[in-house]
Amino acid sequence: MGFPALIHYLLLIKGDYGPRERKTQPSPSQVSENEKDVNHNGGSQGTDVESRPAFQIEEHPIDQVRPLKVGVIGAGLGGITAGVLLPAKLPGLDLRIYDKNADVGGTWYENTYPGVRCDIPAHVYQSGFSPNTQWTEEFAQGHEIRDYWQGIARKYDVYKYLRSQQKVERAEWFADKGKWKVTVRDLKDDTVYEEELDVVLNAIGHFNAWKLPDYPGINDFKGPLFHSSNWDHNVDLNGKRIALIGNGASGLQVLPSIQPIAKQVDHYARNRTWIADSFGTAGVRRLEPNIIPQDQRDTFHDPETYLKYRKSIESAYFSRFGAIFKDSAINANLREQWSALMLGRIKEKPSLADKIIPDFPPNCRRPTPGPGYLEALCKDNVDYIQTHISHFTPTGIVTTDNTERPVDIVICSTGANVDHSPPFSILANGLDLKTAWKPSGHFGFPYNYLGVATPGFPNFLWIGGPNATGHGGSVPNSIENQITYIAKILRKLRSQGIKSLVPSKQATDDFLEYSDNFFPRTVWTDNCSSWYNGGKPGARIHGLFPGSAATLNYIRRDPRWEDWDYTYTNGSGNRFAYFGNGWTTREETEGADLTGHLKRPDEIDLRSYLETWVDV
């Protein structure tokens, strides 16, 4: 017996080499509550031995994919993009898109307040696969953005997947089936039904649930009171005394729209905010207010001219990452630049100078250009009130200095949920993300892996969820890359006999450890309230990815499959059962070309050579 054979024989005797009894982890439902508290994902590090059925060959060719029923929740920018890209990348996918509204468009369908518009240039806030070259304004108004995205949905036949006026109320995971049971309310006839899905994609967006403030006495106010995201168009604002609460993006847009027609506007702004320039569009010729001249738009009919124009704008966005680091020269320059910009726009009322410049660094919270906002603050019929609200009376608002101001109408531009907790229950392994992600919940923050999934919640993926976008770049570009990343996950799920997949706790904890060490370098951890930190200064950053938009696109080129845990459709749990009967579909098809790898000598490209397999 030779030496290698002897070593092989001794290892076999010892039992450390060769076939071994398979050890499996107990199902999450078998884990004690204490173990869940430690593991966060309802999993276990146990090694209980579990008997399995004997493996048998599955009688199908290897490239025969299993049917996959996928539901997308939300038909805003993310849902529309998913409806375009997923069917293209996964032919034959059984897809449905639920939305509570009567049409697609998400926030651009729901928000109809006067002045609603994009706060970044419209040429950046659009898809990469179907750009609009004819935006009429640099910061396009809401109806133009809505029409663009609805046009995308029509162009790519997304409406055939749409289930409008269908509100998802609950999603629950059943591990034995490897299915999600989704409870849906049909808002057209107020009936409730359930569907079983293999995969759920949550695309409800960051700010999916507007909310009114909870000031004492607010319910006693006798006049019209509504949220800007639920605008009451039956209320006449002309000549009225109006209270506008909030100076986030919507508040900044509402004020210049209502100031010219109101008798008086009391603008309650608890937090200061940075008013920025147009983020790299200097030199772009435009007319007031932000109108792009027709002759300039005419030049965009030339594809090369338009590409050069869009590249100049979007490259400026991708180059902004350095501005978020503490004590950086770039951030200091922004403070100087934006301060000068803001002071220059309040020349009519210089007394505002000490009230509007933030004491936190630029980019600590999201800046906005706010066209016309500072100019509106200078008007005689606008009072800028920074004293906090104490309570409401039936006819007005009282601040903490005991000043009461009578008012006819109250408009609350007070934002929406910013903690990323879903507005409906998502249940798996004894946990509900609706409460688990709340500050007082099981996790206490949006516990997630790379902004795409959560341990303990198999086959549930996020589009535009927590940590899902990097600073710089554009939201549509980030969403397109995330959906492409998800398409690769779905391709693996349906082509390799995988019943469920979920990120491991260890991989997720490693990601969070990296995040918690990266974010203190940035101004996001400074003393300001933003949706980056869930509205709580000093809280864990979960609104953005710990890296640039370009870095995140690089990371999403290929999933890290080693970070995921799997279960398999084959009863034996054999990971190679998807090999099937050893054949491919082409081999079983008479006359099929089995030599697709061969090309004419002058067409051979080493970079694409041998990439000829069927895309499943």
Q: What CATH number does the domain containing 370 carry?
A: 3.50.50.60
Helix ranges, 345-382 (H): 353-356, 373-377
Q: Would residue 28 count as lying in a domain?
A: no
Q: Residue 559 above 90 pLDDT?
A: yes
Same domain membership, residue 75 and residue 202: yes
Higher pLDDT pick, 119 / 160: 160
Please state, for a pLDDT cut of 90, what percent of the chain lies above it.
76
Asked whether residue 328 is assigned to any structural domain, the reply reads yes
Query: Does residue 406 share a domain with residue 428?
Result: no
Of 19-23, 306-310, 610-614, the least confident: 19-23
Sign of the torsion formed by the C-alpha atoms of 188, 189, 190 and 193: negative
- Using pLDDT thresholds of 50, 70 and 90, give the confidence band for residue 288: low
The residue range of the domain holding 386 is 220-279+320-412
Per-residue pLDDT of 465-511, as tens digits, reads 899 999 999 999 999 999 999 999 999 999 999 999 999 999 999 99
Half-sphere exposure of 201 (CA within 13 A, CB side): 31
235 shares its domain with 382: yes
Instruction: Report if residue 199 sits inside a domain.
Output: yes
Provide the pLDDT for residue 340. Answer: 95
Predicted local distance difference test score (pLDDT) of residue 613: 53
In order of 174, 328, 435, 539, the CA distances from 321 in angstroms are 42, 11, 33, 21
The mean predicted confidence, pLDDT, of the chain is 89
User: Is the predicted pLDDT of residue 19 greater than 90, yes or no?
Assistant: no
* Total domains, the chain: 2
What's the whole-number mean pLDDT along residues 78-89?
98
Over 80: is that where the pLDDT of 223 sits? Answer: yes
Q: Is residue 156 part of a domain?
A: no
Kindly state whether residue 121 falls inside one of the protein's structural domains: no
- Is residue 461 within 8 A of residue 502, CB to CB? The reply is no
Q: Which of these ranges, 144-148, 284-288, 590-594, has the smallest mean pLDDT?
A: 284-288
Give the pLDDT confidence score for residue 50 in this predicted structure.
60
- Same domain? For 358 and 422 the reply is no
Tell me which of 530, 549, 568 is where a domain ends: 568
Please indicate, yes or no, whether residues 408 and 435 belong to a single structural domain of this protein. Answer: no
- pLDDT tens-place string over residues 396-426: 999 999 999 999 999 999 877 777 889 999 9
Q: Let me know whether 244 and 377 are in one domain.
A: yes
- What's the pLDDT tens digit per position in 324-369? 999 999 999 999 999 999 999 999 999 999 999 999 999 999 898 8
State the average pLDDT over residues 142-163: 98
420: CB partners within 8 A, 6+ apart: 206, 437, 446, 465, 466, 534, 542, 543
Lowest mean pLDDT among 34-43, 99-108, 240-249, 581-590: 34-43
- Helix and strand numbers, DSSP H then E, in the chain: 15, 20
The pTM score is 0.89
Share of the chain above pLDDT 70, in %: 89
Q: Which residues are within 8 A (CB) of 397 and not within 5 positions of it... i.e. 6 or more apart?
A: 243, 266, 268, 389, 391, 404, 405, 407, 410
Q: What is the mean pLDDT of residues 291-318?
A: 92
395, 412, 429: which is the final residue of a domain?
Answer: 412
pLDDT band at 612 (very low <50, low <70, confident <90, very high): low
* 122-131 per-residue burial string, b: 16 or more CB within 10 A, e: under 16: bbbbbbeeeb
Q: What gap in Å lies between CA 246 and CA 509, rounded to an integer?
A: 36
In a shared domain, residues 341 and 477: no
Tell me if 291 is assigned to some domain: no
Query: Residue 424 domain-assigned?
Result: yes
Residue that finishes a domain, picked among 362, 386, 412 = 412
Task: Say if residue 388 is in the same domain as residue 537.
Answer: no
Residue 483 lies inside a defined structural domain of this protein: yes
Q: pLDDT band at residue 205, thresholds of 50, 70 and 90? A: confident
Q: Identify whether residues 469 and 536 lie together within a single domain.
A: yes
Residues 234 and 353 in one domain: yes
Q: Which residue has the higher pLDDT, 270 or 435?
A: 435
Question: Which position has the token pair 């999916």?
Answer: 208
> Where residue 278 falls among pLDDT bands split at 50, 70, 90?
low
* Per-residue pLDDT at 317: 87
Same domain for 261 and 378, yes or no, is yes
> Looking at the structure, do residues 479 and 371 belong to the same domain, yes or no?
no
Per-residue pLDDT for 45 more than 50? no
Mean of pLDDT values over 537-553:
94
Average pLDDT over residues 78-97: 97
Mean pLDDT of 288-304: 87
At residue 220 the predicted structure's pLDDT band, cuts being 50, 70 and 90, is very high
In terms of Cα–Cα distance, which of 420, 435, 366, 412 is closest to 534? 420
